[in-house]
Every structure is written in structure tokens, then in C-alpha cells.
Structure 1
Amino acid sequence: MPDAFTVCTGPKVLLSGNEAPQPATIIIDNSTGKIIDIRQGQLGKSDLYLNGDITWIDAGDKVVLPGLVDAHVHLNEPGRTDWEGFWTGTRAAASGGITTVVDMPLNSIPPTTTVENLALKREAAEGKCHTDVAFWGGVIPGNQEHLVPLIDAGVKGFKCFLIESGVDEFPYVSEGDLKLSMKELQGTPSVLLFHAELDDTASGDSKTGTLSDPTLYTTFLDSRPQQLETDAISLITRLQKEYPNVHCHIVHLSASSALPLVRSAKAAGLNLTVETCFHYLCLAAGDIPNGHPEFKCCPPIRESANKELLWDALKEGLIDCVVSDHSPCVAELKKLDEGDIMSAWGGISTLGLGLSLLWTEGTRRGISIRQIVNWTSKRTAEHARLGDRKGQLKIGYDGDFILWDPEATFMVTKESLNFKNKLSPYEGLTLQGRVEKTYLRGHLVYDSGSGFEGLTAIGKLL
């Protein structure tokens, strides 16, 4: 059998270590899906000495970027596949230039809290993935004996809640539960992820008085104050001093008031990383109309001044990375007809839009495409313990890349969304920057012109 290669060449290629795109040519071995060579300059076919079949990709005026890694996605299969599933969720991801997603341990039934449950998750995903998929495990009360076996079975780390999760199968943990789990995780390569809201009543929504109007966004915002996040992060950093060899990670930080705590923890050398989400960087509470539960997420979208402080922290490096926290549900649970924000499911659907959202907002703030790629690809890959193969255009890494048009604009419509339940707070917005094509290990998995027509699900379970 002759060797087969995919070659991508163009004048604007964002290589690992470079601050801006430059002319380059990438060569991928199709048998392994790995980048085997990178040549400086935009080369022609006659410049290469390759024996075998060559799939030639001339990027033209498009920018070649590494595939994104979304390290916070709820795919919900098995058990709640009517909310989302591997087939639709990974299609949506691929349409936004994401080539790897890391699936959260809830809201599937069963949750990924034992090796047996992980096996069910992997079985449900087999043959349905248009991107590569890795898995987080879960920490719940009483499952600490399952943590090391789950690491051995391949999970990248563990998610826990310090407040009600919203689903009965995934209860929140106490400080005592955390100590038992952190004792198990000491010295392992794993990471412990925290939904960092701490509430003594065990339900943030219960803080709202019975006379408050549940259709007002301010009612919901007042029910999840920033104090919940600062209290949680105070607890986490205190526990880190007791268990210094456990890498801890704050998911979906929304509260700027917690940033001094993060700064102090990092300055003290604690092994702490932090993510925020597209919606906290692109939306603001003052712009959210009342009676629109599609904007509800937990923690909530906060005020415009808070958003700017998150951007500042991201530019500073205090916040490490940006993810979607794609958390969909069926339409009925969003209570759109009633406009009842308080009782609606809290989650925002974003898969497919993140790169365009950050580029649209970032260009107004002088943000470069290198910064965005670092936040959404390189650092997310490192966070998910995939930094040795994902997130960069580099020899030895998977040949995951996208062709990106930074000048193109498009309007977000229901028809343009590829996830299952087409509810999004971004509907009607005009965004700048569009993914034209997505390649996974050198193979085309999405084409903006023809969508997924004629393409197969070649994603692997990592």
C-alpha cells in the first residue's frame, strides 16, 4: 500500500510558538493522523518529495489554526439524549472548529462516577463522534474508592459541585467528602474541577423571596450573588494548603470579586487553574430582557463592569482558558412560554459559536488570534491532560486544524445551529469570523459550504 499524506499550505498558518500567522506548509501522515513535518513558506506540489497519495489543501487567503479543544461540554448521552447526544453535539463542535471535546460526568444517566458507568458512556459514544472525545469523571458523596480506577480507565479528571447540581444523580459534596476524595487524588496526574458556588441552604434559587417576580432577570441574578463563588474559592484554596499535590480547577468563573483570591492563591504557589465561558465574556446582565430564560446559566451572567474585569483577568493570565459549558436541555425545560427564569433549566448552548464570539468581542479590545487560540486550544488541551497531542500545530501532534475566515460575518439563526435543541441567547446576533472547514487528523469533518454531506464520524474516544 502506498503512503498517504495530507498537505496543507498557505500564507497565514498559526504555528506553535509564533505570535502571528506566517507562510507555512504542514504535512500529515494519514496512517497515524500525526503532523510529521512543517516547512517554512507556502510550498507547491513540486517542492515536496513525498512518495504516495497526497491530499492537497491550499488555504488561499484563509487562516490555518489548530483545532480547538472545548474542555467543558455536556453531551448528556446516555439517559438524556433528547437534551443532546454525541452525534449532534460533536457535529455542532466541528462546525465551530472544535476538534476535541471533553464530556462532563453529568447530566447523563448514569453519571460518570464509576468505571462501569464510564464503560456505558463510551459504549453510547462509539461510532457517533465527529470530533475526538475525552471524558471527565465525577466526585459525589461516597465514590472516592472509584477515583483511582477511573483514572486508570482513562478519565482526565473529576468534576464536583459545592451546590445543588440540578440533577438528582449528581449530588453536591461536603467538605468532608472533599477531603476523602483529595486524599485519594494526592500524587495522581489528575485534576479536581469545582463548580465553585457554596451555599449553606444547598440551593441558590431558594434565596429569592416568594414575592419576587420569576420572569425578571434581576430576580435570578440576586439569587446567585458573587459571594457564593468567593466563599467556594476560599474553601478550595484552604483545602489546597492541606492537599498541596492535588491540582484544582475552577470551572466557569463568573464573579470578578473572586479574582483577588485567585491571584493570592497563584502567588502562593497553589496548583490552581481557572476557566471562564464565552457567555460571561460576551453577554451582560443589563442587556438581558426579562422573561427570556434562554439567558439563564449557573453562575449567572453578571453586569457589564464585571465582564470587563473578566477580560482583564484573561489578558493578565489570571484566568487560564475559555470554554463553552454547553449545557442544553429540551425546550419545555427552558420555560420559554412562561418566561419563568427561576424555574427554567440553567444552561446555555454555544457549541459551534465560541471562536466567532470571542473574535467578535476580542477585536474590539485589541485581542489577537494567537491569544484566542491559546485560551481555547493550547491551554484547554493542557488542562484536560491532552497537551502532548492536541491544541497546537506542531510536529508529533494530531493533524487537527481549521480554515478560518476572520473577515466573514454571519447572523446566528436557528437553522445555522447544529446542536440538537436549537435554543441560544445568541440567536439574531451578527458575528465576525467563520470556520470554513475543519480537519481532524488530516481528514475533513466539516465544510461550511456542504455541512456534513458525505462525511463520516471518525472521532476517537480518548
Structure 2
Amino acid sequence: MFRARRCVTPYGERPAAVRVRDGRIAAVEAVTAEAGADTVVELADDEVLLPGLVDTHVHVNDPGRAEWEGFATATAAAAAGGVTTIVDMPLNSIPPTTDVRALEIKKAAARGKCAVDVGFWGGAVPGNAGDLPALHRAGVFGFKCFLLDSGVAEFGCLRPHELEEHLAVVAGFDGLMICHAEDGRRIGRARGRAYADFLASRPPDAEADAVELVIGAARRTGARAHIVHLSAGESLPLLADARASGVRITAETCPHYLAFTAADVPDGATAFKCCPPIRDAANRDALWRGLADGLIGAVVSDHSPCTSELKRLDTGDFGAAWGGIAGLQVGLPAVWTAARERGVPLADVVRWMASGPADLVGLRRKGRIAEGADADLVVFAPAEEFTVDAAELRHRNPVSAYDGARLRGVVREVWLRGEPVGDRPRGSLLERGKA
């Protein structure tokens, strides 16, 4: 049993005793409930019991680019940050997860190495529409596509007619297509150290145009579509109108868009480079409103690490650097720090980072402290402060936009299915419909 004066449940924060049996939550009772024969974990007065977070946007890059990350290091970082379930993206690994054979290769790379539970996305690329049903049957949680150059040659982008073709296939088995929505025709070429030049090269209307494209294709095919890493507030009215008219479209954003603004990014600081980019303060405010209004339903890391050399830290050239932020371990304190300053309660943060992503992919036993759910639990000290040191983070390469940031909220303990997360990998490989 876990006894907490503060416990975040689907009904808000309240005192509770959480009874665990055989890796599941057997009951959520009054905090004064008798323990009986149970061992009791008593939380301190400054601690809150949270459900394990669910991060559905993680690039593990293994196999093929394990020097960028890898299952052992990615899941260790996840656990240290209170994330007990991740869903791995289909690209940056070699081969990309675009057919069942590649999925099996990826599972073999992950097996026995994971500190937390891991699921997998499939990939939608030119020419593989016929592979999607078999990948769906094999248990992927949906399909990732790019509407512009993905940055890696082996994962091609879909042109508009290909997007529609793939969505029509996905609609046939009521799957989920998740889309990197930027219009490559509106993307400029950035060179040099000036962040303002890089930001200008990826304007918000490049996102909005691509979001409109996805909305139109989803409307015509009836497919479920999802916009990943939304960074531009201009897209929110488009999503609102589409959903009001019955289009099945959802969106997520990321901690770095909620925590930082363009003014926080020094010239040459390529650790901050991501695509789409971190925008201005007014845009950040719009994303927070989108969360409050329910237009954005999840906050996930888009953890996309690489080697220090690929980040071009030596030259600070935004045009040449790999675009991706390594933030899996610090997403919760980064969002909580910004949320607290805005008066947003911790229960909302947990909903966006736990049950929201879990619901997106159909993981009904994850991301919530409720009877029948997996006993994935986190002891969190929301008032404790710390300074991020990238060299001490658990992901493979010591590069992070959060390096030196002063954040509030420390993960003290993590349990996976009722057992403490330790040095022995206990994570399971998850399949859609079986978890």
C-alpha cells in the first residue's frame, strides 16, 4: 500500500491509500484505510503520489544509430524523470519501422534492455501503404509520417496524394496517423549562428498550411489524425474548427515549447535547435491556452538526441546542427515549473503528461491511479528545486537545452507495476490492444 496526503487521481488531487496487488492497483481508498497485511510506503509531507508518465514521442534510434541513444539509456532517463511508459518513433533507427520485419529487428534490439515499458510506432513512407495493415496487426500503436524531408534519407516524406492514400488505408482498420506537419515549400535555408535567422526560416504559416492539409485529408478519408509537436499557435483555430465539424484530429505539444521562448535561445546555442522551432512568448501563451481549452491533449518530450558532434556545438551553426532536443528526463519538472508560475495545478500537468498520451494510443491501464490500472507510480517532490546538469542526465550524450536551468520538482522514487525501478531492466515490450 502507498499512503499519500497528496495523490493525483483521475478525479483530482486528494489524500489516498493506494492498494497494489499483482502489479495492478487493487483499490484507491481513504488515506486512513487499514493496511492489513500490506507493506506500507508512507509518503512524506512534501511528496505527491503521481501515476507514471506516458511519453508517446521518443526517438530511441536503436538499432542503427545507437551511438545517438539506445534502449538502455533512453529508458533509464525516462525512469529517472518519472516516465514509466514510452512509445518509440519509427525513424532514426536503421532500418526504420516501416514493415513487420523491421519491427521485429527493433524489438530484438530492445528486448532485455528496458527500464520501463516500451511500445512502438510504425512508419508511413512512400510505397508502404500496403504494409500498414500487417504492422497494425503486429501491435504498433499507429503510424508516423512526415510532410517534408525527415532529415534521414531512409525515411521518406509523403506528398499530399500519398498522405491521402495512407490515411485511407489507416481508416480501414481505424488506426491512427501522426503527422510532422510543416510545409517544406515554406521552409527557408538557415545558416550561421543567429537563432533569429533559423526561426525565420521555419515560419508559423509553414505549420498552419500543413495542418490544413492533414485536416482536409482526414475529413475526406474519415481517418484519425494527430499533429505531433505543435509549436505554432496559429494552428489552434484550424484544429478547433475541424473538430467542431467532426474531423477526428488531435494534437500534442512539448515541454520545450512551454518552458522556453525564442528570447531564451542565445546565438550559437544549437542544443535548442528543434523542428519546428521554439517561438516567441506570445506563441508560448497561445499553446498554454490551447492546453487549457483542450485543443492540445498531450505534452510529450519529442526526445530526439544525437551525438555532441552532430549538434555542432563547436561552430554553433543552426543550419548544420541536428534538429532535436534531448529532454526526456526533465520534461515533468520543466512543465511543472512553468505551470506553477501560471497558477496551473499539478493535476492538469499529470493529465497532459500521463493519461492524455495514454488515451491517445489506447493504453487504458497506464497513466492513471485508478482501480485496475498498472501500478506505475511516482513519488514527486513538487517544491524541491534543482539545477540541471546535462552531464548527469541518464541519456547517452551530455547535450540538453535544459543544461543550467533551475527547475522545480524532483522525482524521488519510481515503481513499475508495483516494483521499484532499479538497475535490473524490468520493462516490457507493449503491443496495441494488449496493454
Give CA deviations for 1:22-42 in whole Å, capped at 9, x if unaligned: 221112123xx1111222124
Letter in 2 for 1:136: W
Q: Does 1:343 align with 2:327?
A: no
Letter in 2 for 1:371: D
SS of equivalent to 1:200: helix
Give CA deviations for 1:325-345 in whole Å, capped at 9, x if unaligned: 000001110001011111100
SS of equivalent to 1:342: coil
| Aligned match of 1:429 | 405
SS of equivalent to 1:353: helix
| Aligned match of 1:3 | none
For residues 305 and 272 of structure 2, what CA distance do their matches in structure 1 show? Answer: 12
For residues 311 and 28 of structure 1, what CA distance do their matches in structure 2 show? Answer: 35
Any conservation in 2 of the 1:11–1:42 contact (CA below 8 Å)? no
| Aligned match of 2:35 | 48
For residues 329 and 288 of structure 1, what CA distance do their matches in structure 2 show? Answer: 19
For residues 253 and 304 of structure 1, what CA distance do their matches in structure 2 show? Answer: 15
Give CA deviations for 1:273-296 in whole Å, capped at 9, x if unaligned: 000010111111122110111110
The alpha-carbon distance between structure 1 residues 41 and 55, as it changes in their structure 2 partners (threshold 3 A), is: closer
Q: Does 1:408 align with 2:402?
A: no
Uncovered stretches (5+) of structure 2, i.e. residues with no partner: 431-435
| Matching of residues 37-436 of structure 1 within 5 Å | 37-43=27-33, 47-50=34-37, 54-61=38-45, 62-200=47-185, 204=187, 207-208=188-189, 214-244=192-222, 246-386=223-363, 388-436=364-412
Structure with higher Rg: it is 1
Give CA deviations for 1:332-377 in whole Å, capped at 9, x if unaligned: 1000101111110000000110110111101110100110011000
For residues 106 and 178 of structure 1, what CA distance do their matches in structure 2 show? Answer: 17
For residues 230 and 67 of structure 1, what CA distance do their matches in structure 2 show? Answer: 33
For residues 411 and 337 of structure 1, what CA distance do their matches in structure 2 show? Answer: 24
Q: Which has the higher mean CA deviation after the structures are superposed, 259-268 or 120-129? A: 259-268
For residues 9 and 377 of structure 2, what CA distance do their matches in structure 1 show? Answer: 11
| Aligned match of 1:460 | 428
For residues 247 and 363 of structure 1, what CA distance do their matches in structure 2 show? Answer: 33
Q: Does 1:34 align with 2:28?
A: no
Uncovered stretches (5+) of structure 1, i.e. residues with no partner: 1-6, 446-451
For residues 191 and 52 of structure 2, what CA distance do their matches in structure 1 show? Answer: 43
TM-score, length of structure 2 as denominator length: 0.96
Any conservation in 1 of the 2:334–2:408 contact (CA below 8 Å)? yes
% identity of equivalent residues = 44
Give, in angstroms, the shift of residue 12 of structure 1: 1.2
For residues 321 and 437 of structure 1, what CA distance do their matches in structure 2 show? Answer: 23
Give CA deviations for 1:188-215 in whole Å, capped at 9, x if unaligned: 24210000001237xx3xx23xxx7511
Q: Does 1:13 align with 2:7?
A: yes
SS of equivalent to 1:11: strand
For residues 210 and 90 of structure 2, what CA distance do their matches in structure 1 show? Answer: 20
For residues 98 and 349 of structure 1, what CA distance do their matches in structure 2 show? Answer: 14
Any conservation in 2 of the 1:64–1:403 contact (CA below 8 Å)? yes
For residues 49 and 399 of structure 2, what CA distance do their matches in structure 1 show? Answer: 30
Give CA deviations for 1:208-246 in whole Å, capped at 9, x if unaligned: 3xxx751100111111111111110111111122111x1
Letter in 2 for 1:121: K
Give CA deviations for 1:244-290 in whole Å, capped at 9, x if unaligned: 1x110000001111111111111112111000010111111122110
For residues 309 and 81 of structure 1, what CA distance do their matches in structure 2 show? Answer: 36
SS of equivalent to 1:13: strand
Any conservation in 2 of the 1:102–1:384 contact (CA below 8 Å)? no
SS of equivalent to 1:274: strand
For residues 141 and 56 of structure 2, what CA distance do their matches in structure 1 show? Answer: 10
Aligned residue pairs, count = 429
Give, in angstroms, the shift of residue 432 of structure 1: 0.5
For residues 311 and 15 of structure 1, what CA distance do their matches in structure 2 show? Answer: 22
| Aligned match of 2:433 | none
Q: Which of 23, 28, 52 matches 2:15?
A: 23
SS of equivalent to 1:186: helix
For residues 353 and 55 of structure 1, what CA distance do their matches in structure 2 show? Answer: 30
For residues 114 and 213 of structure 1, what CA distance do their matches in structure 2 show? Answer: 36
For residues 241 and 351 of structure 1, what CA distance do their matches in structure 2 show? Answer: 33
For residues 334 and 318 of structure 1, what CA distance do their matches in structure 2 show? Answer: 33
Any conservation in 2 of the 1:10–1:42 contact (CA below 8 Å)? no
Q: Which has the higher mean CA deviation after the structures are superposed, 73-82 or 414-423? A: 414-423
- Cα root mean square deviation, aligned: 1.2
Give CA deviations for 1:80-106 in whole Å, capped at 9, x if unaligned: 000001000000000010000010001
Question: Following TM superposition, where does structure 1 have runs of at least 4 consecutive aligned residues deviating by more than 3 angstroms?
Answer: none
